[in-house]
Amino acid sequence: MLLVLTGVTVVSVALLAWVNEITKEPIAAANAKTLSDAVSAVVPGFDNDPIADKKMQEVNGVQYAVYPATKGGEFIGAAVETSAMGFGGELKVLVGFDAQGNILDYSLLSHAETPGLGSKAVDWFKKGGKGDISGKNPGTSPLTVSKDGGQIDAITASTITSRAFLNAVNMAYAAYAGQNKADGTTGATQKNVEQPAGESVPADSIGVK
């Protein structure tokens, strides 16, 4: 019995390793395409390769990926990949900004929120949605839900998800402004991004100081 169990374990481990090896490249390719499509959606009109031109920007000890977009050699904006902890787990967001730091669009790359509730963040904050953030500039005023004194309508029955999402957007702006301040490519300015009072914040989600 011991030999049989040992044999089964060895074979299972070998099979898992084999499956992982043969699926690694297809999964990586699929993830790369998803990111590429998302960048094109949130910062349209560029003629460079933002992913190839990726830069990393540190905000409070956390590194964020910034994908600069140019057209005819002129900076037109950037997409920033960021994340925050929602109700069910991590929200991974890609936010597009124009050259002035105004929000163009966003893509919710991944999440673990409750179907029908927190999952509505996929389109709740898009243009025309109830929590529309398009055209807003977090550098003028950090985005917060109306329950915390802000101007953004939270997802119904999902305030925690809404706070997490907006925190991710604010962090994306902080990284965007920091990167472009260093490059001197835009007038976007770094602002303090503060969390609503009484809310627990992960160490990697605290605003720019």
- pLDDT-derived band at 203, boundaries 50, 70, 90: very low
CA distance 109 to 92: 5
Average pLDDT, the chain: 85
Q: 55 pairs with which residues across the strands? A: 66
Is residue 195's pLDDT more than 60? no
CA atoms within 13 A on the CB side of 189: 5
Residue 154 is encoded by which pair of tokens? 């939270």
Query: Are 90 and 110 in contact, with CB atoms under 8 Å apart?
Result: yes
- pLDDT-derived band at 33, boundaries 50, 70, 90: confident
Mean pLDDT value across residues 156-170? 96
- pLDDT-derived band at 197, boundaries 50, 70, 90: very low
Q: In this structure, what DSSP letter does residue 106 have?
A: E
**E strand spans, 33-192:** 55-59, 62-71, 74-85, 90-98, 103-110
Outline where the chain has alpha helix (H).
2-42, 121-124, 159-183
Question: How far does CA 168 lie from the centroid of its chain?
Answer: 6
Q: Which of these, 78, 81, 102, lies nearest to 183 by C-alpha position?
A: 78
Residue 137 is encoded by which pair of tokens? 């500039």
pLDDT of residue 101: 96
Is residue 160's pLDDT more than 60? yes
Q: Which of these, 44, 57, 47, 48, lies nearest to 181 by C-alpha position?
A: 57
Give the pTM: 0.78
CA distance 112 to 125: 17
Tens digits of per-residue pLDDT, 55-102? 999 998 999 999 999 999 999 999 999 999 999 999 999 999 999 999
- pLDDT-derived band at 207, boundaries 50, 70, 90: very low
Lookup result for tokens 């969390």: 195
Assign 80 to helix, strand or coil.
Answer: strand
